[in-house]
Structure 1
Amino acid sequence: MPVINMLSSAHKVKGQGVLSAYIEQVKLVETGLADTYRVKKNRWLPGAINHYHTIDFKFYLSLLSAKIFGATTVAYVHFVPETIEESLKLPPVIKKLFYAYMIRFYKSVDRIVVVNPYFIDVLKKYGIDDRKVTYIPNFVSEERFYRYSGEQIAALKIKHAVPDKAFVVLGVGQVQTRKGILDFIEVAKRLPHIRFIWAGGFSFGALTDGYKELKKIVEQPPGNVTFTGIIGRDEMNDLYNISDMMFLPSFSELFPMSILEALALRIPVLLRDLDLYPAILFDCYLKGGTIEDYVRMIESLQDKGEVYETWSDNAWHCHEYYSEQRVLGLWKQFYDSMGS
């Protein structure tokens, strides 16, 4: 039985979407394709397929041995230079070298998987042949993200000091400029009667873009805002259950796992109007571009009436599109194609 060797160091940095995507994809293949492939993790001996989830230099060095052993090499693209630009504050020389290395890694593998079709053209801009690029979306398991009972939710609201009748807006992700934290805070200030929670912290510490400014905000947020710090993935479903909607004003993304997690709980999602979202979220999300847009849309949902139900239904329709069986079928087709 062919071996898929999954290689990743995402566990070294907590609170990042790459780790969540890795966990979900590996579990999906381990369980769903168990009769076709054996999955190994971080094994130096190449498998029939070496699937790189992160671009560590040690993995780059292993590409040569993988080719010698006849393995097909696959890179899972979770970021490109554009998405790093507003995430980490790096010296110009280091940044230039890192970006060049990133693209070199992608060019060196046999196949590439992107989680958003928008980035096929982005990679082409860097001279990567689009014929070796395949789009397979992220997905989340309903065993991990699902709606609790009313009693459980009530208990969690007490635990997190959230009033039972409060309308709760949830943001998820690393605390960094790219995630639109400053807009998140400004919107919260305009809506003092609504509770705002941001789940995430400084995964990269002082290297985070805007670290000093954002650290002050995290330490002294407005009275209706809570920053939880880095939350373990096992605890994230608790926060989705006590929240009424997700608000993620990021300036750049690929395909945030947090959006899929929110959709699995039938929670309306409000995002910045970015070019990359329509291809993956269709018309299932609310979008805006200014503080006024965001304020108006949150206000339209807070009574949880007909408008709220419409966007909840839209969220669920999108979740159903990214079902486990559909995404599993795409992975099977992709891996099987390497033996033909």
Structure 2
Amino acid sequence: MLKIAMYSAATKVKGQGVGSAYIELIQMLKKHFPEEMEITINKLTKAQVSHYHTVNFPYYLSTFLPGRGCKVGYVHFLPETLKGSLKLPFFASKIFDKYLISFYKRMDQLVVVNPSFIPKLEVYGIEKEKITYIPNFVSQATFYHQDQARVSAFKRSLGVPPEKFVVVGVGQIQERKGVFDFIELARRLPQIQFIWVGGFSFGKITDGYEQLKHVVDNPPANLLFPGIVDRNEMAAYYNVADLFLLPSYNELFPMSILEAFSCQTPVMVRELTLYHSVIAGYYEPAQDVEEMEAKILQYSTEPQYLKELQEKAQQAAHFYSEDRLAKIWYRYYNDVAKR
């Protein structure tokens, strides 16, 4: 039996994609490999593989202890991807950037969720041979397509008229996520219902906090902010959406996009180069607010185009299925344990 020690504090802060990815992986491994793997969580125990999901300082110290086996680090962000997320003093930001890279260098192996980050890690002096790309995934037991009666009932519970076209965005409320553009779209398109699911996971140190908090407390009539929603309730929001929109300026591989795909919800995102290597062909790209506005209007009045985008979401859900990724993770853990 393969012994794997998991280390993560991702679930301590609600509403993070890092936490969602961690939960999905743990549940998948326990479901598919109960006899093949012995998994411990946040326990300093000897293991063949020690998998670090977050970069907390106690975890860093633990890497110097014997019995760690192969140390695997999950790369969910780099110094440059944190810009626009947290507002830290310059000095503190520089210290954390150095610590983050030092943490990654302590690992024997790294896993990235987007292959575009491999050359960026090389720039920091990390050998390409240590890095493996394994995409995120979500379970269709949690995120699934719901019938129309259930969707209509949830729409009523939100106070949204049944005939309204609904655009849903998901993620922490922060400048990097493009929430200001989402708000602007709601102002420009009063006939469309907009819903942003998520909150200020990091409170007042969130970049753009004061301005965003003002809008959250005083939103346009057609914009809802339900806050941080329990993961088990998220499928209802993806299903009530006619279109899922993520206007982020910087991402790795958002769990929210995979969750929308899994619910067979059409997806539109801001066109970012990093999406090309992971979800090309499955989404509708838009460069800016003007293009997003034009395409939302088209989808809301010409449903045949929305149907095509929904079919792409179904294809993506199949490709990023739990069963396919389970086999990939099984091979990976066994390979690195042998090293």
Please tell me the TM-score bracket, short chain as reference.
over 0.9
User: CA offset at residue 70 of structure 1?
Assistant: 5.1
Residue aligning to 1:313: 311
Q: What per-residue deviation string (whole Å, max 9, x for no partner) do you get for residues 287-324 of structure 1?
A: 11121100111112113621111111111111111111
Residue aligning to 1:207: 205
Native 8 Å contact 2:49 2:337 kept in 1:
no
User: What is the TM-score when the length of structure 1 is the normalising length?
Assistant: 0.97
Structure 1: 4+ residue segments shifted above 2 A = none
Residue aligning to 1:46: 46
Q: Letter of the aligned partner of 1:15 in structure 2?
A: G
Residue aligning to 2:113: 115
**Structure 1, 98-107 or 120-129: larger mean CA deviation:** 120-129
Native 8 Å contact 2:266 2:313 kept in 1:
yes
User: CA offset at residue 63 of structure 1?
Assistant: 0.3
Is 1:290 aligned to residue 293 of structure 2?
A: no
Aligned residues: 338
Give the 3 Å change call, closer, same or farther, for CA 222–265 of structure 1 in structure 2. same
Residue aligning to 1:26: 26
Give the 3 Å change call, closer, same or farther, for CA 70–98 of structure 1 in structure 2. closer
Residue aligning to 2:78: 80
Native 8 Å contact 2:2 2:48 kept in 1:
yes
Cα distance in 2 for partners of 1:107, 1:119 equals 15
User: Structure 2 unaligned runs (5+)?
Assistant: none
Residue aligning to 2:230: 232
The correspondence of residues 50-199 of structure 1 with structure 2, limited to 5 A, is 50-65=50-65, 68-69=66-67, 71-199=69-197
The correspondence of residues 212-223 of structure 1 with structure 2, limited to 5 A, is 212-223=210-221
User: Structure 1 unaligned runs (5+)?
Assistant: none
Q: In angstroms, what is the RMSD of aligned CA positions?
A: 1.1
Cα distance in 1 for partners of 2:320, 2:190 equals 35
Identity of aligned residues (%): 44
Cα distance in 1 for partners of 2:68, 2:210 equals 48
Is 1:333 aligned to residue 319 of structure 2?
A: no
Give SS of 1:6's match.
strand
User: What is the TM-score when the length of structure 2 is the normalising length?
Assistant: 0.97
Q: Letter of the aligned partner of 1:34 in structure 2?
A: P
Give SS of 2:274's match.
coil
Give SS of 1:259's match.
helix
Residue aligning to 1:252: 250
